Each structure stands twice: as structure tokens, then as C-alpha cells.
Amino acid sequence: MIDGLLQKWPVKPVIHTIQEVFPVLDSIKIKLQYLLPKQGLTRLAGWGAEKRAATLTHWVIKAFARFYSVDMKEAQNPDIKSYATFNEFFVRPLRDGARPVVSGLDMLCLPADGAVSQLGAITDGKLFQAKGHFYSLEALLAGNYQLAEQFKDGQFATIYLAPRDYHRVHMPCDGVLREMIYVPGDLFSVNPLTAANVPNLFARNERVISVFDTEFGPMVQILVGATIVGSIETVWAGCVTPPREGIIKRWTYPAAGEEGAIALEKGQEMGRFKLGSTVINLFAAGQVRFMPQLNNGTVTRMGEPFAEALRAPAAAPQEPTTTDFV
């Protein structure tokens, strides 16, 4: 009887393809970004990453390095047991010569290991985030319209640092620090999936904005926070966040040649993330041209060619004029 019913009303097996399942999983991940207590998770991660738990710490580091295929041969100290905390491991310095810095006065170097998320022109005061998503330059700069004006029609580059990457950030060119701005905000993840689905991601997340004067005009380097990024630090101020007080803070610094001026060289470390995130660079209009091999998804290594200066050609010497006297 059952066989007869099955023949009359055959049951079709339910088969879901990978293409059908993945969008559902991605949708769940994005919804969790809005629902989870990101601030609490970040504080918890920061607390755990600073704990000295001896064998447990070393086990966690070893598991992390294996899971993310971290190349410890590049580290100044490749011995996992030498790191007392997870944060010490995460911001490990590299051995000498691991990241040669491109030479040449007109060449800028990549500021970080990672992958290009987006780069290109700032058009109509907006930066491209991902397919279908743009965000405002002025919003990224915390409403500072005067600073935003300096980068009108300029260039931007966004580099995503994955968990396996080296997490110190370096200078793309020589520069003198003009100001630093801490902007409180959300702590969404900044991975490619989130960038493609959360509007205004980089303008809504916590970030530290550093403004430099360079021979290529003003340059901004922004360290963007994210979920479980325990802290953002700079070499001149130490830990900028935490604490997270919910207010914009601004520091100004002496100009070049003045006492106390902070001058950094191309390739020199300027900051670091304790757990990974994103770096955004802004350049004024007509100052630099990104290297043609850099595109969305290009793997980056600190010190490799980033951009080339667009210098105006030197004026041709004028021929001496003669005057005939009658």
C-alpha cells in the first residue's frame, strides 16, 4: 500500500546546492553583526588577549597560527613559546629584511600587509566601499568639512588586514604629523562580506585618523576598528583606544621645523592593531597615481610599490632675448 502511495505521489528529495546554502549563511552572519553585543565581545577579547596564561596562551597561539597559516619564519622571534600573551604574538615584529621598502623619491610604499579592498578616485565627495555601496568622505573624517575639502577629487585606497597578516602599519612616504583624531563608533567586522552588506561601514566604525603633511601634499592614514579589535595604537601616542569614552578627541602637533614636531620616514612604523582591521589612505587631487597592478583583491605586502608621485614637469629654460638698439 505504501509503495502504491509513493508511486502515486512520489516524494522528491530536497537537495540544496552550495549556491543556495551560502547566501542563507551569509545573511545570518550579517544579521548577527547587528544583534551581537560587539562592544562587550571586544572588551572580552581584549581582556583575554592580555592574559598571561602560560601553557594555555601558547596552545591558543599555536592553534591560531595553524588555523590561519601564519608564517612564523618571517617573525623576528619565531618561537611561539616566547610570547607571554596573545597580543604580543599578534603584533610581533618581523625579522630584518622581511619587508624591503621600495626606493625612489617619487615612489610610495604599501603601508600594510593585507589585500586591497578598494582603491580609486574620490568622486563627488564619495568613496567606493563595495558593489552598490558608497560612503561620504566628510562622514569618514567625522564631519570635518575643511579637512575633507583638501581631498576633493583626490585618491583613496582601502587595505583589509586578515587575521593571518602582519598587523603593524607603516608610513607610505615621509611625513610630518599635523593632527590625530579619535572617532568613536560601532565595531562591525570589516571583512569583505560585511563591507559588501553593511552601508557606510568605514564611516560608522570606530577609527583613528592621522593627518600628515608630505611633499605630495596632505595625506591621511586611517586605522579602522572592528569587532574584537582590542586596541588601536600609534607610535607617538601609545594606546589611543581603549578607553572608549564615546566622544571625538583631537590632538594637534607642531609643524615641520618646530620644536616637538613628529616626523616619520617612509616605511617607518606608525601604528598597530591588536587584532586585525582596515587601513584607509587619502591623497589630494593630482598628487599620486596608484601602481597599475593594484586592484580589488590584490594581496599587499608592506614596503612594496603603492603609488607614484605626479610631479609637474620642470619648466623649460627660457631662451635669452636680445634687444636691438637703433
pLDDT tens digits, 115-154: 999 999 999 999 999 888 899 999 999 999 999 999 999 9
Q: Predicted confidence band at 197 (pLDDT cuts at 50, 70, 90)?
A: confident
The runs of H, that is alpha helices, within 16-162 are 18-35, 38-49, 55-67, 86-90, 137-140, 145-149
- Is the domain of 111 the same as that of 83? no
Q: Give a yes or no: residue 319 inside a domain.
A: no
Question: Are both 29 and 111 inside the same structural domain?
Answer: no
Q: Are residues 180 and 38 in the same domain?
A: no
Q: Could you tell me where the beta strands, DSSP code E, fall in the chain?
A: 107-109, 114-121, 126-130, 133-136, 155-160, 168-170, 175-183, 207-214, 217-224, 231-234, 238-241, 249-252, 263-264, 269-274, 278-283, 288-290, 299-300, 305-309
174 is catalytic: no
Confidence of residue 246 (pLDDT cuts 50, 70, 90): confident
Q: Could you tell me how far CA 58 lies from the centroid of its own chain? A: 27
Same domain, 171 and 274: yes
**Which residues pair with residue 180 across a beta bridge?**
210, 251
Q: What is the mean pLDDT of the chain?
A: 85
Number of domains in the chain: 2
Decide which of 57 and 314 is more confident. 57
Whether residue 81 is found in the same domain as residue 41: yes
Does residue 298 form part of some domain? yes
Same domain, 146 and 51: no
Residue-wise pLDDT for 216-240, tens only, equals 999 999 999 887 666 899 999 999 9
Annotated catalytic residue: which of 165, 167, 170, 210?
170
Nearest to 279 by CA among 189, 170, 123: 170
Catalytic pick among 58, 113, 117, 174: 113
Q: Tell me, yes or no, whether 204 lies in a domain.
A: yes
Q: Give catalytic status of residue 277 as yes or no.
A: yes
Judge if 140 and 242 occupy the same domain: yes
Determine, yes or no, domain membership for 143: yes
Do 227 and 284 sit in the same domain of this protein?
yes
31-63 tens-digit pLDDT: 776 776 666 766 666 667 777 878 899 999 999
Instruction: Find the catalytic residue in 117, 210, 231, 277.
Output: 277
User: Pick from 62, 90, 118: which residue ends a domain?
Assistant: 90
Is 170 tagged catalytic? yes
- The verdict on 296 and 165 lying in the same domain is yes
What is the structure's pLDDT at 322?
A: 46
Range of the domain at 77: 18-90
